[in-house]
Amino acid sequence: MKVEARVVCHDGRDGGIGVMATIDGGAMLCVLDLTVWAEAEQSLGPLEPSHIVCRMANGACVRSRGTGRAWIEVNGVRQQVEFEVLDSRGAFDLLVGKTWLCAASALHNFTNDTLILHSDTGPIVVENQNPALQAQSEQQAPTNEPTTLIQPPPEQYKQQQTTIEKPTIPEGEETTREQRQIMNDIEPEHQPNRRSKRLADKQTAELYWVSAEALEEVEKKIEEMIEEEEEWWDALEVQTLDTEPTDNPSEVVERIWRMEKEREEENQMRRILFDDVPPPQAQVYTLDGVLDRAERNEARAHVTPDTPPAQPKCNLSLQVTDPFNQTRVAEIMSKVKVGDDLSGEQRERAESLIREFADVFARSLSEVLPVDITELRLDIPDDATFPKKAGQRRLTEPQRIALYQTLDELEGAGVIERVSQENVKAVSPINMVPKQSLAPRPTIQQLQRMANAECIKYGIPVQYPEAGTEPAVQETDMQQAKWRLVQNFAAVNKVTQIRSFPMGDLPAKQRWAAGKRYISVMDLQAGFHAIPIAKESVPFTGFHVDGRGYYVYRRMPFGLTGAPTTFCEMLATVLHDLIDVHIELWMDDIATAADDFDTALGSLRLFFERCRTHKLSLSPAKSVFFMSEAAFAGARVSKEGVRPDLRKVRAILEWPEPRTVLEVMSFLGLVGSYRTKIKDYARTARPLSDLTPDIKVETPTRGRGLKLAYRRALNDAKVVHTDETRRAFVELKLALTSEPVVRTPIYDGRPFIVSTDGSKYGFGGVLEQEWLELDHHGQETKVRYPIAYASKRTSRSEEHYIPFLLEFAALKYALDEFDDMIFGQPIKLETDCKALADLLGNQKLNSTHERWRESIIGRDIRAV
């Protein structure tokens, strides 16, 4: 349906432009043709960037050139909407979709093909103003005498004859080639009058009943064709074998029928390419048309219909075809974990919610749906060159078997695709590496026994005598090793422009999830493989497999420089309004937490709805719901606070004694991730930190990078351990086995307590708050709990500070480290240096110390 409309700029600065609008209740948005917008750019204003990709009626995806805002007016009814601009290739000028139709409360009456609009004065009925429909109506003017277009059913065709209608051409108008052809095919004595379109459409439903005279004409034509073929064969003196005769009429009819079928399929495909196709006109059947129908009837009676070509099997997963299949839902419920301490009613409501949104869970890679809101686009210069032959590492037999199985799985899921060498611009080497073991989480008693074994090994008193000294029994895993496909995109990453994306404050995210009763943690199922790759970037992801050929990635793999940024941007686009309110996330780890069960259930429902809308796939095996304690972003969060992940603590305890400076720095980097949970970390690690400076690095030559030369120098520098370094090594291991807990800060007016200490070896600080708890006598008492720790080693210049300046510098350092939690809150300072309290009130300081003092007293300090 088409109507006349006017598009006016959103600020009303111009009278706008008049266009012919196509009404489409199935379109999700309004679209303006690129050619129309180019003519009216001065009136409508500039466009804003848009990432929307529109799917046309023929299935093609067309990217929007931009988005704008304007008033669209139809018969005096005006509504302001956003519109997209794209190249429709002449299919429409303006496509009016649901956004405008809903805003205008419009109703499309398909009975009489009208559009009903609601205004202040009442409903407005708009007729279909399609020029093609009006031209057709003018051409098909009804007459008084009805005319039969085709033959009635067989029981009546003996008594009546079919009258062929000849189209009437208005006087004074030139006839087209098609019209002249039709007029020549019809006998001049037949001049039937037209009937109404409704009766014509009704009679055209019987397409294959013809008169006896028409059948006689068919037989004559077939005989003539047979005679012509016989004369031709006789002229060539061809002797045929004793098989089916060539003059079989069914073969002639079959050939004509197949040609007609091909023409019909071609016309059908052409009609699909257009959004707005004018209604079909009443057809005028000539004698040739009657003969064609007779031949098709003959073909249907004697020839077996053509079988359609075999289509490739499309392995659609149950998540697409039947996401709520009982077997599938039962498997999902068996993999997810729901808190054991819920009541019967709470557990039933929680499981009911998971069943309701079973379509957002993916049991395997084959069920991961590609998202449609973003794609990976590699920023590679046009003049960049890449190797076409990679130095592939040799694989063992188990690796090769695992590689082929992985390729079949990825290809079946649409993640990779086999291509020819011409479609690959860069080839990167691949390898199969063993996956991280999914061993069960150890208990704190097992870790303490491991710590005691370390104490005995280094001659240190046993730290946990009640736990015993027997080493934990290592369970032997006899299962087959699992492998992961990795790829080295070094050549592509070297020239790719990196787009950074800040990850945020990890301790703050852990604190957000802690301190609450009901905690749910979810993980995406192959989140990277859910993001498509732009068509122009696909050839740069190629790799070669012996015996298989070349492959490219259709969805985002691991290892590309821009992959993490694209993944984080996708999650930010989908979940930005839920973060810090209903959920918190760190990469693909997503957590919801609340003290009230109904609040936690509502947050989960909002998150599931967002996953369903944007096709995010969750892993049921990595999802836990309504737990009192859960692992999130590398730590355990609970009502009490944040604890270290026991799996990582075991990795620290199993770390061998470092032999090079590089190994020392690796160990300090691993333990340092928990420095906010370890008191006096810098002071404890000082003997090991003293081994890392003063490493001589040779100047790189022949294009070798400085980073590689520095790493080689660290690996070549051997470490000579002393009793002090070995004791520091063991104490850092023992620091996490005491299961330290840091609580979540409470902002109810209670003050924060900051305790600091400074020495020439390092600075340290502790942030605490007080809670009211019942003692063993049942009386309320105030108990302090740590919220965070901060420590650093002093620099070479800070080592020469006098004692009270060391305390002064330590106080400033601690307040700066805790500033994201205590800014604007009441603070109490605790220090063992009386001179420091006097220094804060001293007005006669040098410029440097005066800046320190101003930064300290600028906070809300209530007591010292």
**C-beta neighbour count of 468 within 10 angstroms:** 14
- Both tokens of residue 37? 């917008």
* 713 is a domain residue: no
* Ramachandran assignment for 634, one of left (phi > 0), alpha (psi -120 to 50 degrees), beta (any other): left
- Give the 3-state secondary structure of residue 792: strand
Beta strands 337-338 and 416-419 are: unpaired
Is residue 739 situated within a structural domain? no
What tokens appear for 447 in the block?
A: 């870790």
Residue 9 lies in a domain: yes
Number of H helices, E strands in the chain: 28, 29
Same domain, 327 and 279: no
Report whether 529 contacts 365 (CB < 8 A). Answer: yes
Classify residue 396: in a domain, yes or no.
yes
Are residue 181 and residue 51 in the same domain, yes or no? no
Q: Any residues with CB less than 8 A from the CB of 609 and at least 6 apart, and which?
A: 357
Rounded to the nearest 5°, which phi and psi values hold at 675?
-65, -25
Q: Which of 256-260, 528-532, 791-795 has the highest mean pLDDT?
A: 528-532
pLDDT for position 296: 66
Per-residue pLDDT of 627-652, as tens digits, reads 999 999 889 999 999 998 888 888 88
The verdict on residue 539 lying in a domain is yes
Percentage of residues in the chain with pLDDT exceeding 90?
A: 32
Does any domain span residue 422?
A: yes
708-720 average pLDDT score:
85
Q: Quickly count: other Cβ atoms within 10 Å of residue 504's Cβ.
A: 13
Structure tokens at 232: 């031709």
List, for residues 211-253, the tens digit of each pLDDT value. 667 677 777 777 777 776 666 555 544 444 444 444 566 676 6
Instruction: Supply the CATH number for residue 415's domain.
Output: 3.10.10.10
Amino acid at 263: R
- The total number of residues written for the chain in this structure: 864
Which of these, 545, 558, 541, lies nearest to 428 by C-alpha position? 541
Determine the structural domain holding residue 265 and report its residue range.
143-242+251-306
Q: How far apart are CA 149 and CA 152, in angstroms?
A: 9
Question: DSSP labels for 803-838?
Answer: HHHHHHHHHHHHHHHTHHHHTTS-EEEE-S-HHHHH
Neighbours of 310 (CB within 10 A): 6
Name the more confident of 167 and 820. 820
- Pick the most confident of 47-61, 149-163, 165-179: 47-61
Residues ≥6 apart with Cβ < 8 Å to 304: none
The sign of the dihedral angle between the CA atoms of 352, 357, 358, 364 is negative
> Does residue 425 sit in the same domain as residue 562?
yes
Which residues are CB-neighbours of 533 under 8 A, at least 6 positions away?
A: 375, 376, 377, 541, 553, 554, 555, 556
> What's the rounded Cα separation, in Å, for the pair 13 and 44?
9
Query: Based on the domain organization, do 779 and 630 belong to the same domain?
Result: no
What letter would DSSP give residue 536? T
Distance from C-alpha of 194 to C-alpha of 437, rounded to nearest angstrom = 81
- The CA distance from 400 to 410, in Å, is 15
What φ, ψ does residue 784 adopt, rounded to 5°? -90, 140
pLDDT category at 442 given cuts 50, 70, 90 is: confident
User: Which stretch, 117-121, 220-224, 427-431, 697-701, has highest mean pLDDT?
Assistant: 427-431
Q: Say which residue the tokens 């603070």 belong to.
A: 827
Distance in angstroms (rounded) separating the CA atoms of residues 297 and 154: 13
Residues 300 and 349 in one domain: no
Q: Which residues pair with 125 in a beta bridge?
A: 116
Are residues 504 and 371 part of one domain? yes
* pTM, 2 dp: 0.61
Give phi and psi for 430, each to the nearest 5.
Answer: -125, 165
Residues 105 and 147 in one domain: no
pLDDT interval class at 738 (50, 70, 90): confident
Phi, psi of 446 (to 5 degrees): -65, -40
- State mean pLDDT over 372-387: 89
Please state, in angstroms and rounded to a whole number, the distance separating the CA atoms of residues 576 and 570. 10
Residues of the chain with pLDDT > 70: what percent? 78
Task: Calculate the CA 552 to chain-centre distance.
Answer: 19
Mean pLDDT across the chain: 80
Q: For residue 339, what are the CA distances in angstroms to 345, 520, 559, 563, 606?
A: 13, 9, 36, 34, 20
Number of domains observed in the structure of the chain: 4
Phi, psi angle pair for 763, to nearest 5°: -110, 145
For 282, the enclosing helix (H) or strand (E) is none
Burial of 857 (0-12, 13-18, 19+ CB in 10 A): exposed
Beta strands in 668-797 (DSSP E): 752-759, 762-774, 780-793
CB atoms within 10 A of CB 252: 19
Q: What is the DSSP letter of 174?
A: P
Domain final residue pick, 622, 644, 666: 644
Residue 699 dihedral angles phi and psi, to the nearest 5°: -65, 125
b/e burial code for range 636-651 (CB count within 10 A of at least 16 → b): bbbbbbbbbbbbbbbe
Matching residue, tokens 């007609």: 260
Beta-sheet pairing, 66-74 with 2-9 = antiparallel
Per-residue pLDDT tens digits for 18-46:
888 998 888 888 998 888 888 888 778 88
Q: Are 343 and 295 found together in one domain?
A: no
- Which residue in 35, 1, 12 sits closest to 134, CA to CA? 1
104 close to 98: Cβ distance less than 8 angstroms? no
- Residue 54 counted as domain residue: yes
Same-domain pairing of 337 and 292: no
* 82 plus 152 within the same structural domain: no
Candidates 111, 97, 92; CA nearest to 37 is: 92
Beta strand 752-759 pairing with 762-774? antiparallel
302 shares a domain with 157: yes
Position 279 confidence tier, pLDDT thresholds 50, 70, 90: very low
List pLDDT tens digits, range 320-352. Answer: 888 899 999 999 999 999 999 999 999 999 999
For the four alpha carbons of 830, 835, 836 and 839, in that order, the dihedral sign comes to positive
630 lies in the same domain as 583? yes
Judge contact between 392 and 548, C-beta under 8 A.
no
Domain boundary among 644, 677, 703: 644
Q: What is the DSSP letter of 800?
A: G
